[in-house]
Structure 1
């Protein structure tokens, strides 16, 4: 019997629905994690550790977009740092202008700049800065996707292209000392919408905002995957040529998904800047982009929740290893990746799914 892609994307008569316990399991787990993140974590963690968790959640937003593009759509993107940097620099430019109070930012004074560049003028408005942090990456992804996917560039070629884009952006930022801060980037932020960024209450509020945004984006991505568009996206991942022969346009599907993942990365960058207090080329080059892909692979790229879990686990491991083993933490981080990929190619969530399958199979066996 031959199965066509139309069987995947066509809405047919639904099979018998799952039990109420199965239907409620997902929302119950999501609600439990939301309570732990929004209520328990701010009460139990000291401000420094809570700030670290907020940073991990910013990376988790980027990882969610990678999981959507790579895990569900088969687009291995190695340059999400580009979109993360767009959002981060947009927010950083607003914060520097706000702190300067109408004068030139400090690094421009040190660099000999006498007049505010025209590129910086729109970012004095916080609304425009936030809009550009999301719309800029989306528009860039749409432009890139329209050019690349229509030419049927995919696989390793697409991955290398996005990686080269990240490297080119870093070179551009480093070379524009008076415009972008060069290697040092943008830092020394003091105020956000009238709130002292160094205050514990402000950092706690930022953590809650990041956690809420991550939860909403996860629900958006989850609904997107479960929709008819999501089934078409998975069909493109598994058989792009067959989807094209059936009359669909894979380039459009991939471009939309790539743009959504880019918007997530841009929003994560905008949230990252007030949480961490810096945005620099070192945070959005090739290596950080690869680390996020590794985190998604560790968590499980075929699961949206796995991508988030992988980003948090890898972020925590990186912090813990660097605190306890300052000289060899990179080797320990690499060993963790090799261990997971060797024993569990589908990541942590793949192990959990296999365990659930074994338990369910044993329960169905006759006594």
Structure 2
């Protein structure tokens, strides 16, 4: 048996991976680098959400920036209102746009708890409604991908157009870090890094358990043959809506964490290039592997941070070419190399180096 498909080995790989990441703040003393690594954790959560939706659900989502951006704006509004007081309740950019009263849209965010709940609930509700409408109409495949891309552009345009409420292209820059009661979360501190890591661990565990459950097996069956699953009596639209909504919730959490770390949000979070990058992370790392997708995000964003300034716009061509090569020759992404290596090792141990493939070896394996 290929050790790659052994569930206990998979859990062990997750454990080792996250223990190594948890030790990072103990090994480096550069606060800027620690903040940068924390943002990689945010990108890893986005790649995880794409892996759930596209890899396991077979739903190519080119608009994952929508829940990410909505969550980011909700958290930015919450943090901005924390810096305002009763005598000066309006953010400066609203005064510059000739507003005289705090808009009704902003008033719930004066309460930190309500603001955080709304930052997570609004994008999740949007995914639930939008996904329900699309999947009940049996919009799927490239048509669904195009619809998500169009909706992403619509949201970006809306954020720009309502400048008095969102500060338009300049975005929102909360002047102070997030405060939770008496605790202030310094975005350059180990506490911020471990917070991001803890939420990424929770998201990974939830996603992993989901893929191993009956729900996960039905989702993967829909990915392989939706019509057959529909004929068996399952609500395909319901399952597709569920996995799309859960994926959107994880993206919303990532958006909240992004603003917490950067203290900034702008319409760039709704840029199509950013959403396409999420798909590239998952595709290169391995969209059918949760860990592979996360590693893909770390690898690509790390390379961009250190090579992007050198190659400038050429970096996008390099990344696109690399993505094409991986899709063409490694359909399961870079993590597929690990699967092939472990599979060859297992066969060599079992039959003394024979190349025969055991029966069932090529069948889909759940919860990779």
Q: Give yes or no for TM over 0.5.
A: yes
Indicate conservation of the 8 Å contact 2:307/2:315, yes or no. yes
Alignment of 1:108-123 (within 5 A): 108-123=94-109
Question: CA shift at 1:24, angstroms?
Answer: 4.4
Unaligned segments of structure 1, at least 5 residues: 1-16
Indicate conservation of the 8 Å contact 2:188/2:261, yes or no. no
Match of 1:125 among 90, 111, 115: 111
Indicate conservation of the 8 Å contact 1:60/1:311, yes or no. yes
Match of 1:253 among 228, 239, 248: 239
Question: Which residue does the alignment assign to 1:190?
Answer: 176
Note if 1:55 corresponds to 2:39.
yes
Q: Structure 2 CA distance, aligned partners of 1:366 and 1:192?
A: 59
Indicate conservation of the 8 Å contact 2:103/2:165, yes or no. yes
**For 1:84-137, what per-residue CA distance to the aligned partner results, in whole angstroms no more than 9, with x for missing partners?**
011101110011111122421121122222211000000111111111122112
Question: Which residue does the alignment assign to 1:82?
Answer: 66
Alignment of 1:93-112 (within 5 A): 93-102=77-86, 103=88, 104-112=90-98
Question: CA shift at 1:27, angstroms?
Answer: 3.1
Structure holding more helix per residue = 1
RMSD across aligned positions (CA): 2.1
Question: Which residue does the alignment assign to 1:171?
Answer: 157
Q: Which moved more, 1:37-46 or 1:107-116?
A: 37-46
Q: Which moved more, 1:63-72 or 1:186-195?
A: 186-195
Match of 1:155 among 133, 136, 141: 141
Q: Structure 2 CA distance, aligned partners of 1:289 and 1:157?
A: 17
Alignment of 1:231-270 (within 5 A): 231-270=217-256
Unaligned segments of structure 2, at least 5 residues: 354-368
Q: Structure 2 CA distance, aligned partners of 1:151 and 1:118?
A: 34
Question: Which residue does the alignment assign to 1:319?
Answer: 305
Question: CA shift at 1:197, angstroms?
Answer: 6.1
Indicate conservation of the 8 Å contact 2:78/2:109, yes or no. yes
Q: Structure 1 CA distance, aligned partners of 2:108 and 2:350?
A: 63
Question: CA shift at 1:51, angstroms?
Answer: 0.9
Question: Which residue does the alignment assign to 2:364?
Answer: none
Q: Structure 2 CA distance, aligned partners of 1:266 and 1:191?
A: 19
Question: CA shift at 1:285, angstroms?
Answer: 2.1
Return the TM-score normalized by structure 2: 0.89
Q: Structure 2 CA distance, aligned partners of 1:329 and 1:242?
A: 43
**For 1:175-211, what per-residue CA distance to the aligned partner results, in whole angstroms no more than 9, with x for missing partners?**
111101101111143132156666743xx21111010
Question: Which residue does the alignment assign to 1:12?
Answer: none
Q: Structure 1 CA distance, aligned partners of 2:339 and 2:321?
A: 23
Question: Which residue does the alignment assign to 2:363?
Answer: none
Indicate conservation of the 8 Å contact 1:183/1:281, yes or no. yes
**For 1:151-195, what per-residue CA distance to the aligned partner results, in whole angstroms no more than 9, with x for missing partners?**
111000000001111100000001111101101111143132156
In structure 2, the residue corresponding to 1:186 is in which secondary structure?
Answer: coil
Alignment of 1:1-367 (within 5 A): 24-44=8-28, 46-102=30-86, 103=88, 104-193=90-179, 200-201=188-189, 204-326=190-312, 328-366=314-352
Aligned pair count reads: 348
Q: Structure 2 CA distance, aligned partners of 1:41 and 1:334?
A: 33
Return the TM-score normalized by structure 1: 0.89
Q: Which moved more, 1:161-170 or 1:315-324?
A: 315-324
